[in-house]
Amino acid sequence: MKHFLILILVCAVIMLVLPVAALKDTVQKPIKSADSVNSEATGNAVTTEAQQQNNETITVFLSSQNQNVEMDMFEYICGSVAAEMPLAYHEEALKAQAVTCYTNALRLKLNTEKTNNADISDNTAIHQGYINEAERRAKWGNDFEKYESKLKNVVNSVKNQAIYYNDRLIVAAFFAISCGKTENSGNLWSESVPYLTSVESQGDCLSPQYATSVSFSLDEFVSKMKSANAAFSIESLANAVTIKETSPTGTVLKAEINGKAYTGEEIRSIFSLRSPVFTVNSTDSAMTFNVLGYGHGIGMSQYGADYFARQGYTYKDILTHYYSGVVIK
C-alpha cells in the first residue's frame, strides 16, 4: 500500500512538470500577430521609398553656363518652382506648380531623346526655368529665409507626385495669366492634346496685369517686321494688320500684315506681346496692340491657380481643373 501511494505521488509530480516544459518554447518564440507583420512591411516600404527619393537625380543644362549639371531632383524642383511662380502665391497653387514641374522633369528624364545630352534645360523657351539657392537668395533678398522655408515645405509635401493621362505622364503646360479661359492645344499646336482643352479661368480677369497695350510708330513697326522679313516695306500703318480668324477664347489664329499671312503666335513673337490674344488699333503713323493675359494660354494658368487656391481649392482640385481627365499619383 505504501509503495502504491508513493507511485501515485510520483505520477502527480510528473503531470505537473510536463506542461510547463511543453510551454517553454512557446513563451520564448511567440508567433507574430498579423498587425506586427503588416507594421514591419509598411516600415520597409517607407524606408525603401525614402531611399529612392533621396537617390533621384536629374541632369540639367544650364544655358547661362553652357554646361550640364547633375543635381538632386528635390533641389531641381525647388529651383524650378522658384523660377516659375511667385512665392507670395498660395501654398496650394505652389503645390500644383511643383507637381507640374516634377511631371515635366520626370517625363523628359525618361525620354531617350536628350537636349545637349541633358535630361532638361533651364531655357524657358524650350522647357522650364530653374534658379539655384544663390540665385533665389539674390531674388528674394530679405524674404529669402521665409520663402525658402515655404518653398521646401511645399515641394516636400507633394514629393514624387506626377500627373498622368491614360497611365502616361502628361505635357504639363502652364503659363502666367489667361484671358478668362485657357486655350485648346489644337488651336496653337500641330495636334490637339485631349487633356489640354479650354476651361474657365475667370479669376485671371482680376489680375492687375490682365490687360496691357503696346504702341509702335511707323519706323518702330517697320524695324520689328524686318526682323522677320528683311524685305518688309510699308508707307502707312492704317489697316496694316488685319485679324482674319480668332478662336472662341480670343486667340488670334490668322492675321495679315501688309497682305502676308501670320499666326497670332508669330505676331506675338515679332512684337514681344504678352499673349496671342489681342486686338489692333491703327492710324497712318501709329499701331497699338491691346492684349489680354500673359503667355500662350495652354494648360494651367498660374494666376488662376492662385485664385482657385484662395477660394479653398486644393492642389489636386486645381490640377484636375486645368488638365482634363488626368489623375495625380
199-241, pLDDT tens digit by residue? 999 999 999 999 999 999 999 999 999 998 888 999 999 999 9
- Placement of cell 529669402 in the chain: 144
pLDDT for position 52: 43
Q: Does pLDDT of 29 surpass 90?
A: no
pLDDT recorded at residue 25: 31
pLDDT band at residue 259 under the 50/70/90 scheme: confident
- Cβ atoms of 58 and 109 within 8 Å: the answer is yes
Is residue 50 pLDDT above 90, yes or no? Answer: no
Summarize pLDDT for 81-117 with one digit per residue, the tens. Answer: 999 999 999 999 999 999 999 999 999 999 888 878 9
With beta carbons less than 8 A apart as the criterion, state whether 171 and 98 touch. Answer: no
% of the chain exceeding 90 in pLDDT = 79
Rounded to 5°, angle at Cα 119 from 113 and 124: 105
Q: What's the predicted TM-score (pTM) here?
A: 0.82
- Look at residues 83, 55, 62 and name the one whose alpha carbon lies nearest to residue 160: 55
Cα distances from 103 to residues 11, 173, 207, in angstroms, run 77, 10, 27
What average pLDDT does the chain have? 86
The distance of Cα 138 from the centroid of its chain, to the nearest Å, equals 23
Residue with cell 531655357: 123
Which pLDDT score, from 0 to 100, does residue 127 have?
96
Compute CA 265 distance to the chain's CA centroid, rounded to the nearest angstrom: 23
With a CB cutoff of 8 Å and minimum separation 6, the contacts of 199 are: 181, 182, 321, 322, 324
Judge whether residue 35 has pLDDT over 50: no
Characterize 237-252 residue by residue with b for buried, 16 or more Cβ atoms within 10 angstroms of its Cβ, and e for exposed.
beebbeeeebbebbbb
Kindly give, in sequence order, each residue whose CB lies less than 8 Å from that of residue 242, ignoring residues fewer than 6 positions away. Answer: 255, 256, 257
Q: Could you give the CA distance from residue 325 to residue 302 in angstroms, rounded to a whole number?
A: 19
Contact partners, residue 113, CB within 8 Å, separation at least 6: none
Bridge partners for 61 per DSSP? 68, 121
β pairing state of 163-165 and 241-246: unpaired
User: pLDDT of 82-91, one tens digit each?
Assistant: 999 999 999 9
Q: Which residues pair with 327 in a beta bridge?
A: 164
- At 112 the pLDDT is 82
Number of Cβ within 10 Å of residue 11's Cβ equals 10
Q: What is the pLDDT of residue 235?
A: 92
Residue predicted with more confidence, 23 or 268: 268
The Cα 78–Cα 153 span in angstroms is 10
Orientation of helix 315-322 relative to helix 91-110, angle to 10°: 60
92 touches 313 (CB < 8 A): yes
Which residues are within 8 A (CB) of 221 and not within 5 positions of it... i.e. 6 or more apart? 234, 237, 240, 287
Is the pLDDT confidence value at 27 over 70?
no
Look at residues 174, 163, 185 and name the one whose alpha carbon lies nearest to residue 265. 185
Q: What is the tens place of the pLDDT at every residue in 156-206?
A: 999 999 999 999 999 999 999 999 999 999 999 999 999 999 999 999 999
Query: Grid coordinates standing for 142?
Result: 530679405
Residue located via cell numbers 520663402? 147
- Indicate the DSSP class of residue 159: T
Going by C-alpha positions, the residue among 307, 253, 304, 260 that lies closest to residue 278 is: 253
More confident residue, 50 or 245: 245
On the question of pLDDT at 123 being above 90, the answer is: yes
- The band of 276, judged by pLDDT with boundaries at 50, 70 and 90, is very high
Question: What are residue 142's phi and psi, to 5 degrees?
Answer: -65, -15
